[in-house]
Structures are given as C-alpha cells and as structure tokens.
Structure 1
C-alpha cells in the first residue's frame, strides 16, 4: 500500500520514507534547498542512513499562497507527478529516478521522492551557459521533441500535460502577467524595450498563443533552462522540473532556452547556429523538412512570449532577495538583446 501524501515536510519521518522507498531508511537531516531560487514548489534534501542512497530530494507544494494557487489552476503538481509515473521511463533525456510520487487530484497536494543529482555539474542561470553546453542541451532538446513528435495529444487527454490552446491560458495569463508587471515595475528599473513589450504584451497574447498552437506539435518541456538541468560525468543533460509539460509548437522550448539561459554576448554569437543545429537534429531523427518550414517566424513570436516568464515569476518573488532580483535582472538584459536582434517590437 502506498503511503499517505504528507501535508508538509514535518510529516515525513523514517517510517513514511521507508514505506515510500520500499526499504528501511533513517533520516539524519533535512535541508531546504529551494528557497530563494525561483521555485514554485518546496524542495528539500534528506540525508539518510541505511542500505539505500545517502541522500534523496523531496519535492512538495510551496508555502506561498500565490504559488499554490497558480500550481492548482495550471495543474502543475498533477503534471509533474504524472510525468514521473507515466513518461519518465521513455524520456530520451536522462531524468532523476523517482523513488515515489503521489498526488491528490482534488487538493493538488503532492510529494515526490527523487534521486539526488546535485553532485553533477550545474550551470548558473545568472552567469549563463557557454557554447559547448548550449549545443549539447539543444541536441538533447531535439531528441526530446522528436520522440514525442505528433504524439502529445493522448498525453493531454490523460491530464498529464496541457495544450497551449487550453482556454485557461488566455483567461489566467493576462491578470497574472499584469500583477507581476506592476510589482516588478514598482520595485526595479527595466530596459526601455521591456517596458514597451510589457505594455503591449496582453493585447498581443492571442496571436502568440495561436501561433504556438498550430501544427506540428510535440510534448514540450516548457521550462527548459540552465537552472533545470545538470550535466553528468559524460557531459549529458540531466533534466529536472516537469510541472509545465505541454503540447505546443516545439520551437517555443528553443526560444525560451536561448533567450533565458545564454548571456547576451553568447546568444548574439550562436543563436542562429543553435536554431539550425536544432533543425538538423530533428531532421536526423526523421522529422520531415517540410514540417520545419516557417519555424523561424514562430521562434520570434515565442521569444516575444517569453517576457511573461519573469513577470509571472516576479509576482511571487522577494525582490529584496539578491539572487531572486539577480535572476530577473539577467532575464531582462537577455530579453533586451533578443528584442533588438529579432526585432520583436515589430510583432506587437
């Protein structure tokens, strides 16, 4: 019998974890590793004694009420637990082993007990990813997209993912974006082009969503960025965080990755090459070239859409916290580069 889903971290003890992992485990310490790093959920590392791993990662609902509301409306917890239960075994990108995952579909309370991959090499989201890592990440992104190319529909129907054309997005995103933009604008200075785009973003949203909702579609990760990946000893990606997996045009993942995880100088130098590399990798995986035509225009629209992410994240951030503020500042600097080089204001 599966253990009950705990209400909070204080409910996780030796007995609960032993039942969840299927072998005796004794907890010698639990450390919060999620606070201040822009996570919607609460994340902890448990240090263990016993025959199993020395540590595991525990993921549970966040404590912030805004974050919990967003998670419930967008089914974030249901999606992530569903990914680990239904899809992780076939992922072409390595993901942490899930020792246990459970979610209450009525309350959205959930828990994940995951392999701790924190010993692998990480790349700072604020510092940005270099060329070699970016190329590896894009190659593996293409393998992910190709694997589920044209196959995301049934996953959406099961409730494990949400389609970008789901009516919740045009209903929820404008007020959440506006609230976040008001908070960010009042707390920090942003580049002028960010102000221009943000002021016209809500009006442009239906066209952006419509573009991403066209075919071909695949299962997208939705949050493919430096902070959500490690690189293992062979240099391959270990991917995290599957709360926003969905059905969409695949190029949105690429635009989000390039505009969010590369420094302006690096993105300026390698963005066109990464786009072509992604296309070639998909073609190598057997995706017809005809299905990749016209993707660059969708890529630009997806880059424009990406200004929503720092606004939505900012709504739940402590902007007096140095790292959280630094994340937003880096994101806005990178978006400024994208807006200039991709002429994004022309799309408003």
Structure 2
C-alpha cells in the first residue's frame, strides 16, 4: 500500500497499519475499503485515510470470460482517465497481470457518496447532472484518432464481431422473453425481439460519430453526493468505442420513469449537447444529437438482455426486478421515439 500511494503521487508516506472490509456487490470483481495508518503524526495531504481496493474475484484459472473487462477497466484508469472531463475516482494504482486474470485498482474512497439504484430511479436534477458529466467522457475523444493508440487493449468491432453480436442478442432475447413470459407485457416482448433482429444493422449505423463509451452508464454505476451535483462514474469494464449517444440513451431510458423521461428528455439531451460544445465539440448540431439519441436507444435492450442472461451472479428477486425495470424503460422509449423505424430505414 505504501508503494501504491507513493507511485500515485501521495508523497513520502509510509503505511504502518491497515484494516479493511468488503464493500459493494460486484459481479466481476471484489472491492474492499481499506482504513490506513501512517508513520509519524499522520498522513500529509494528499495521502488518503481510506481507499477502495478493487481486484479480481473467483478462481483465476476460470476468468477467461471476464478478463477483457479487467483489461478495459485497468486500461481506462492507467491510460485514459487523466484525459477525460468526466468525474471518476482518483486512481492511486492500476495494475494487471500479463494474462489479464489478476488486477488491482487502488481508488479514492467516494464515501459518503451513495450509488444510485435502478429500482428507485432518480430525479430530473440528478439526471441532468449525470448527462452533463457524461459529455465529459465523450468530448475529449470525439472522432479522435488518438484512440487508435489504445488498440492493443481497447477493441473496436469489425464486421465479424457485429454479426456475432447480432446472433448472440437474438438468442439471448429468446431466453429473456421466455424467462419473464408471465411478467413481460406483449408489447415489450415484441419490441425486444424486433430490436434484437436489428442489432447488426444498428451497429453499422452507429459507427459515426464515435468516442469512448462507458457502455453501462446507469444508476447502479454512478455515485451521487449527499447534496447537489457532482456525480461520479465507476465500473469501467464495458469501455468501448462507438456512438456516444448510446450511453446517453441507455441512461435516460433506464434512470427515469417513462412519463418523466418523455416530459424532460428534450431538455436533458440539449443540456448534454451544450456541454459537448462547451468542451470543444464542433460540427455536431443539436438536431443530429437528438437523432443519435433516438438511434442509441437500441443499446438498452442489448445491454439489459445480455447482462441478464449471461450474468455470473446468483439470480435473485432483486436482480429480476432490476432487469425488468430496465427492459420496460428501454422498450417504452424505443416505441415513443420510433427508434426501430429509424434504424430499419437507415435514416
């Protein structure tokens, strides 16, 4: 811990004692809060009194499925976090093994900020804070060739990958609809099937503009302060390159009740767009942004269905409610915004 903090810029500190307890319920890793003791009279700023340590979970030999996520998260903190404007925890250390099965992140402790809840949703003010924060991820790498330098660990989809994802989504949707056949409205089941059938075409249509995507920018992966704005984004395993409005659409469709989203989405999308412009994005109109927001809505069914069907965590009533809430919100938004027709027409 001494080496991690010194390497991260905490100065000439020496950790002499620590205790820790588990925090969160991560499905791809384990997180712990470490309470630190220092030599001398105490830690000099900026050395922290507590940090959160995140690492791999389960048998290292069986982590092939999740090691890409490990690589993405460590790569983000080690190589990209300093270049974006989105609020993220300070990273004191980001380390990963050569085979990507073992990793360690030492992060600033955001306590007393609290994670959002998919079931509880959020209010419009929190949503506005979150979408402006999201623009801080997208703007710095907007259509940027600098992302090519990250190709050794940050993968871009090719045609074969898009075709595979389309087939996977169709199969997973059939399982999702069957699993929840007594709890899904027929209209939502139909929307999920139609969205899955368009996955390949949708991915092709979402190649430009491009930037970094969080990929799973939703309430459970956001930390909200007790009072006022200042939301912080965590859990970067799903980092990718793609249409920025996919993150925006996914967040608003799953964070706000459908009636609230319909009432406020124009203003919220406009707020996101204004923040992009403030951060230097040019040649991207507010009208284009809203069209991409409509197109990006198909990200919701994709992430919700795949996340549900291929989750490694034990299925619970709470997780069922969460996935159903996300599916219903995404389907309602897709129908309201005619997103399927937009993608099918190639507009």
* TM-score normalised over the length of structure 1: 0.81
Q: Does residue 278 in structure 1 map to residue 269 in structure 2?
A: no
SS of the residue corresponding to residue 307 of structure 1 reads helix
Of the structure 1 ranges 132-141 and 104-113, higher mean CA displacement relative to structure 2 is found in: 104-113
2:251 aligns with one of 249, 254, 257: 257
Give the count of matched residue pairs: 325
Deviation at 1:125, TM superposition (A): 2.2
Q: Does residue 332 in structure 1 map to residue 327 in structure 2?
A: yes
SS of the residue corresponding to residue 95 of structure 2 reads strand
Paired residue for 1:20?
4
Structure 2 CA distance, aligned partners of 1:256 and 1:193?
19
The one-character-per-residue Cα deviations of 1:72-108 (angstroms, maximum 9, x if unpaired) are: 3xx2211211111112223212211112111124243
Asked whether the equivalents of residues 126 and 330 of structure 1 are also in contact (C-alpha less than 8 Å), the reply is yes
Structure 1 CA distance, aligned partners of 2:286 and 2:263?
23
Structure 1 CA distance, aligned partners of 2:159 and 2:54?
26
2:90 aligns with one of 93, 97, 102: 97
SS of the residue corresponding to residue 223 of structure 2 reads strand
1:30 aligns with one of 21, 25, 31: 21
The one-character-per-residue Cα deviations of 1:50-90 (angstroms, maximum 9, x if unpaired) are: 4453432222234399x944423xx2211211111112223
Structure 1 CA distance, aligned partners of 2:165 and 2:29?
19
The one-character-per-residue Cα deviations of 1:241-264 (angstroms, maximum 9, x if unpaired) are: 222222222111111111122222
Structure 2 CA distance, aligned partners of 1:249 and 1:118?
32
Q: Does residue 119 in structure 1 map to residue 112 in structure 2?
A: yes
Asked whether the equivalents of residues 136 and 236 of structure 1 are also in contact (C-alpha less than 8 Å), the reply is yes
Structure 1 CA distance, aligned partners of 2:30 and 2:196?
30
Deviation at 1:193, TM superposition (A): 2.8
Q: How does 1:1-348 map to 2 (within 5 A)?
A: 17-22=1-6, 23-35=14-26, 39-50=27-38, 51=43, 53-63=48-58, 68-72=63-67, 75-151=68-144, 153-155=146-148, 157-165=150-158, 167-172=160-165, 174-175=167-168, 178-179=171-172, 181-183=174-176, 185-187=178-180, 189-214=183-208, 216-232=209-225, 235-290=229-284, 294-315=288-309, 316=311, 320-346=315-341, 347=343
Of the structure 1 ranges 174-183 and 218-227, higher mean CA displacement relative to structure 2 is found in: 174-183
Unaligned runs of 5+ in 2: 7-13
